[in-house]
Amino acid sequence: LKEGQQIHAQSCVSGFSSDLPLQNSLVTLYSRCGEIEEAYLAFEQTEAGDNIAWNALISGFQQSGNNEEALRVFARMNREGIDSNNFTFGSAVKAASETANMKQGKQVHAVITKTGYDSETEVCNSLISMYAKCGIISDAKKQFLELSMKNEVSWNAIINAYSKHGFGFEALDLFNQMIHSNVRPNHVTLVGVLSACSHIGLVDKGIEYFESMNTKYGLAPKPEHYVCVVDMLTRA
């Protein structure tokens, strides 16, 4: 942050303070560092009418944990008629997810639907994760089923959603569907699968999945996978 402030000061002295890329970079810098006042000050000095600076501010606040602030900027952006895009919605949904405020989450979702971005894979993946984190599995499932272009992030989100909320058999069924859809699992997938086995007492099947990480999928187990196995054996 200190180095960024020095660059900011130097840019003002050198007459580059009105340079648009530099202004957007400063918005990103201050918002990501949680410097709300400085971020807003840098933002207000931007002169562009596009969504770049808005996205930088929303994303920066969300990444620094200032999720309520990110949602306030998102609401203001919509009031002022600035067009949102995948990047905007991804950050806004993550912010709503972190606050676990379903009222705000539903409002963001409504804007996404209104603008037609609800069919975009990246945005839909964020919605699946948001509903799962808030414990609304039915809505997470609805988003997943309506998504035409599912990628590994989509599958991971729904598998882990079911696994974390006690639907172990459903999680394993989804894992099998993922494999049959020719989507290759990764480390995140197997955490959900092993956790599901642990919660429903499928020790032998869980060990089989664990061993298949290396032999079948070329994945070296990480600490979180060993934790799942220990938990599985403890529950047996």
Encode pLDDT of 119-157 as tens digits.
899 999 999 999 999 999 999 999 999 999 999 999 999
What is the average pLDDT score of the chain? 88
Look at residue 114 and tell me whether its pLDDT is greater than 80: yes
What is the model's pLDDT at position 27? 80
Q: Which of 140, 165, 139 is nearest to 154 (CA)?
A: 140
Reported confidence tier of residue 51, pLDDT bands at 50, 70, 90: confident
HSE-up (13 A, CA, CB side) for residue 128: 27
Q: How confident is the model at residue 19 (pLDDT cuts 50, 70, 90)?
A: low
Distance between CA atoms of 123 and 106, rounded to whole angstroms? 14
Q: Does position 36 have pLDDT exceeding 90, yes or no?
A: no
Residue by residue, what is the 3-state secondary structure of the chain?
CHHHHHHHHHHHHHCCCCCHHHHHHHHHHHHHCCCHHHHHHHHHCCCCCCCHHHHHHHHHHHHCCCHHHHHHHHHHHHHCCCCCCHHHHHHHHHHHHHHCCHHHHHHHHHHHHHHCHHHCHHHHHHHHHHHHHCCCHHHHHHHHHHCCCCCHHHHHHHHHHHHHCCCHHHHHHHHHHHHHCCCCCCHHHHHHHHHHHHHHCCHHHHHHHHHHHHHCCCCCCCHHHHHHHHHHHHHC
Residue-wise pLDDT tens digits, 181-220: 999 999 999 999 999 999 999 999 999 999 999 999 999 9
What confidence score (pLDDT) does residue 48 get?
A: 55
Average pLDDT over residues 172-188: 98
**With pLDDT > 70 as the criterion, what percentage of the chain qualifies?**
89
pLDDT above 80 for 52: yes
Cα(61)–Cα(139) distance, rounded to whole angstroms?
A: 26
**How do residues 96-107 score in pLDDT, each as one tens digit?**
999 988 899 999
How many other C-beta atoms are found inside a 10 Å radius of the C-beta of residue 133? 19
Q: Which residue has the higher pLDDT, 5 or 171?
A: 171
| Res. 164: pLDDT tops 60 | yes
* CA 165 centroid distance within chain: 18
Query: Does residue 3 register a pLDDT over 70?
Result: no
